[in-house]
Amino acid sequence: MEITSVGIVGAGQMGNGIAHVFALAGYDVLLTDVSQEALDKALALIDRNLERQAARGKISAEDRAAALGRIRTTQKLADLGGCDLIIEAATERETVKQAIFAEVLPHLKPSTILATNTSSISITRLARGTDRPERFIGLHFMNPVPVMQLVEIIRGIATDGATYEAMLKVVERIGKTAASAEDFPAFIVNRILMPMINEAVYALYEGVGNVKSIDESMKLGANHPMGPLELADFIGLDTCLAIMNVLHEGLADTKYRPCPLLTKYVEAGWLGRKTGRGFYDYRGETPVPTR
């Protein structure tokens, strides 16, 4: 399976990062989103991130220009029909992902591989709604994509060996490291990471510590580069809650019950950095804890 062209659905935080690394690795990239504004912002961000890499000597000016030249955008999912690989990087809601696959399927080549960047949802279940479960796979990139080295590769029950091997080669070509995970709720990284974040929210909820003390304790006491509440804001509290719900429902274990305070923040629209307020308030010059 030779892959030269990649379609990416979703121009948000994950989608633009995925487009960045694939274009830099020499793939032709078609980035799509329902919003032209989101596409314009994504291209501007990719340009700035490539410029930063060039300024640090990690890539050449020629590499930067070539990568930008390989990225096209569209608001029409049908335009992805000619791509060899399509990576869905939309919001972490199963109904949204299923609707995307249903809309794009009639336009695809028989050989096209479908991948999802889901961080928690069953690959097998998503694949069932397509006409190619054997060519459907999970590619879970870490955020921020241009910086983070890992890509989890998750096979559904029907994913064939050729698709898996093709994705191993793709991950190698974009300069990342693959970790194979079984198709269980939240896979490896988030199966471990999200309960830790959820427990930090419980510690805040129960008054064990405030935002600053919890984050400082984990940074200085466990050598974490970011505190768990700061990290939750970076990921997005809605995403954290969605993953905890998948774990709680999928594994039927009360230890994965989302903290009520996490739910409350999401209900308030305090989703973290992307909305300007979460466990920290980002609307001033420096972030300020909200509790």
Catalytic residues: 119, 140, 152, 190
Contact 238, 267 (CB under 8 A): no
Distance CA 249, CA 46 (A): 36
H/E segment holding residue 142: none
Structure tokens at 27: 């793939």
Q: Cis (ω within 30 of 0) for the bond into 144?
A: yes
> Nearest 5°: CA angle at 154, between 153 and 159?
115
At residue 260, the 3 state secondary structure works out as: helix
Number of helical (H) and strand (E) elements in the chain, helices listed first: 11, 10
> Nearest 5°: CA angle at 156, between 17 and 161?
90
Helix, strand, coil % in the chain, rounded to nearest 5: 50, 15, 35
At residue 72, the 3 state secondary structure works out as: strand
By CB atoms closer than 10 A (0-12, 13-18, 19+), residue 98 is middle
